[in-house]
A and B are shown apart, each in its own frame.
Chain A
Amino acid sequence: MSDHLLLERTHPAKMASQVLPKGILKPSRSSHTDRASIRSPEEARQIAVQHALLLEQRKQIEQQIFSAIEALLDYPTTPRPASSPLPDDASTFKTLLRPFQPSDYDDLIEERNISGKCGYVLCPLPRRHRPGAGKFTLVNKNRADFGIVETKEVEKWCSDRCARRALYIKVQLNETAAWERIGLESIKIDLMEEEKEERKQDGDLARDIARLKIDEDAKALDAERVGENGKKIELTIREKNVTGVAKAPELEGSDEEGDGHLNIEGYTSGAGPKRRHKKNKPDDDDDDGDLIYGSVKINPGSFMTVSDGSNGDRINSSATESEAPQPGTEDRSKRSSSKAEVDEATLWRQLDALRAEGIDFPEPEKKQS
């Protein structure tokens, strides 16, 4: 209150001298700087440390993947056929592979190929070499799944069987980068042969459902849902209560004439036949190809474009008309006197006057029957 009084009493000139001149520059985007300045040094430091830790973690995981690739280069430790690897080898392979992304796995295959080995880690054989220097090669000759593929793709493996085994592993890898898998259960990787044995033991459906891991996914999602300050956001999911009987959806604005498809968000476009049906008198229900021009109706015979060519004199009359309208032509005047609501001659004069002024007309629409 006292402030208010004080303001009133001060002289306007004095007031003006106190107020700083307004700059023409835009005010700085305050929202960002404000928030930054509000943060205390401790808070800022905490945030910096948090980000540094994340980067550090990422670096560590990348290093881990790198050393895993190096270790897996020399696998298998004892040469056994790829279909029945040493259990130790298989289990280490599966554990080392956990942080991998599919791209890392590709790198591993590439590295193994460079040292001349089959791309599948548990295979002791050297990779195969196709004879010839062709860039592309034929696979599955004389079979339905015949194809032409790049030679280097085929030369990655010792056999098709191994290619299958290696790619079987690849599709199980997680696309998410390892350092972003917060709360995700580490994946379980199966070798192709193992999978088959297990499938024999229990039902396919049960296994597939187990693979879905709905509960775990929900938990992982829950763990991810952490606010900025580390607080968990409470979220409960309820099913929506539905009362009443479900109804089949219907097209908006559909009516008995079946013109519902012309309706755009409750609006029917003006120049179409729809409006005319509603506005005009009901006696004009013939299907003689009337033309609608705005809200004005013109009968055929006036336009050369409409005439079907069966009526010779109609063509003639319209041909002369397109140059200069001759309202007195008998054939047309008969028709117009009986049907048109506006005298056609007047209309034509108007049209020509407008054309002379240089106003362009859209082509008149033909009535759709």
Chain B
Amino acid sequence: MDDNAGVVGKEVTRLWRAWRTVHEMVQDRGYILAEEEVKISLDSFRLQYCKDNGEPNREKMTFSASPSEDMMKKYAIEPTAANPNPKVDVGTIYVEFVPDTGSIGVQQMKKFVTFCNEHSHKSGIMVTNSAISAQARRIINGARDYAYIEVFLEEDLLVNITRHELVPKHILLSREEKAALLKRYHLKETQLPRILSKDPIARYLGLKRGNVVKIIRDSETAGRYASYRLCV
């Protein structure tokens, strides 16, 4: 019995860390979250998201957030003659911790996509215990047009990788900034260095194809220097 309590306690701690990382991630992307939501302590997490017997209650572990003004500006699309009122492709984000321990199949993924769609969430983050099936991945790709679904493993979120000292700062450029960069250096998009969209940092920031990130590194000689990468 005591042993079991230890196992459950460990699981709660793991979940708490993943919970915090997800919140930090959502906040770093520019969504509005209250500070006390992000920096929740283990005790208050236990109080809110655990059942009476101490087991974590994943069904309760969902939240949504809406983008801040700055984020809206960053993702803004300049109106053109052909498209005078372009739609901004950011909206509310919905995060869910999947309770099942098995891998995620087609049916579950469909449910998630429909949920996001019904509640008009533009993006959805699924935090799972184990990998999703190949067909479920296909659904994600199929739903790209109306909902941007991301899947993270719980174990990948135990630490926030961007807080590591060896990880340089990555900043997403807005469309305007990207255009200015390309103009200034007389570059074509493809001439920039690249970053894969499956790169952990790219996944953390939710980069899409064509996004450019500015990477600020420390330099022994120059203090700091910036480089730019195109997400592919």
Chain A positions within 8 Å of B, measured between CB atoms, are: 66, 69-70, 73, 107, 110-111, 114-115
Q: Can you spell out 16 A-B residue pairs with CB atoms less than 8 angstroms apart?
A: A66-B135, A66-B138, A73-B106, A73-B107, A107-B134, A110-B133, A110-B134, A110-B135, A111-B105, A111-B106, A111-B133, A114-B103, A114-B105, A114-B108, A115-B105, A115-B107
**Chain B residues near A69 (CB-CB < 8 A):** 106, 135
Closest 10 CB pairs of A and B: A114-B105, A111-B105, A107-B134, A110-B133, A107-B135, A111-B106, A114-B103, A111-B135, A114-B102, A69-B135
CA distance A111 to B108 in the complex (A): 11
Interface residues on B, range: 10 to 19
Q: Is B231 an interface residue (CB 8 A)?
A: no
Chain B positions within 8 Å of A, measured between CB atoms, are: 102-108, 133-135, 138
**Chain A residues near B135 (CB-CB < 8 A):** 66, 69, 107, 110-111
B142 to chain A, nearest CB (A): 8
A106, closest chain B residue (CB): B134
Main secondary structure of the interface of B (DSSP, over half): helix
CA distance A186 to B111 in the complex (A): 34
Main secondary structure of the interface of A (DSSP, over half): helix
A173 to chain B, nearest CB (A): 16
A114, closest chain B residue (CB): B105
CA distance A111 to B105 in the complex (A): 6
Task: State whether B134 touches A114 (Cβ < 8 A).
Answer: no
Task: State whether A114 touches B138 (Cβ < 8 A).
Answer: no
**Chain B residues near A110 (CB-CB < 8 A):** 103, 105, 133-135
B47 to chain A, nearest CB (A): 31
Task: State whether A107 touches B107 (Cβ < 8 A).
Answer: no
From A66, A70, A73, A114, give the contact of B104 (CB < 8 A).
Answer: A114
CA distance A114 to B109 in the complex (A): 12
A324 to chain B, nearest CB (A): 66
**Chain B residues near A111 (CB-CB < 8 A):** 105-106, 133, 135
**Chain A residues near B133 (CB-CB < 8 A):** 107, 110-111, 114
**Chain B residues near A107 (CB-CB < 8 A):** 133-135
B114 to chain A, nearest CB (A): 14
A112, closest chain B residue (CB): B105
A175 to chain B, nearest CB (A): 18
B166 to chain A, nearest CB (A): 33
A348 to chain B, nearest CB (A): 68
A101 to chain B, nearest CB (A): 12
CA distance A284 to B104 in the complex (A): 86
From B102, B106, B134, give the contact of A70 (CB < 8 A).
Answer: B106
B76 to chain A, nearest CB (A): 32
**Chain A residues near B107 (CB-CB < 8 A):** 73, 115
B138, closest chain A residue (CB): A66
CA distance A115 to B106 in the complex (A): 9
CA distance A66 to B105 in the complex (A): 13
B135 to chain A, nearest CB (A): 5
B136 to chain A, nearest CB (A): 8
B107, closest chain A residue (CB): A115
CA distance A69 to B110 in the complex (A): 14
CA distance A114 to B129 in the complex (A): 13
**Chain B residues near A114 (CB-CB < 8 A):** 102-105, 108, 133
CA distance A252 to B102 in the complex (A): 67
**Chain B residues near A70 (CB-CB < 8 A):** 106
B130, closest chain A residue (CB): A114
CA distance A107 to B138 in the complex (A): 11
**Chain B residues near A66 (CB-CB < 8 A):** 135, 138
CA distance A110 to B105 in the complex (A): 8
B52 to chain A, nearest CB (A): 27
CA distance A70 to B138 in the complex (A): 12
Beyond A111-B105, A114-B133, list 10 extra A-B contacts (CB 8 Å). Answer: A66-B135, A69-B135, A70-B106, A73-B107, A107-B133, A107-B134, A110-B134, A110-B135, A111-B133, A114-B105
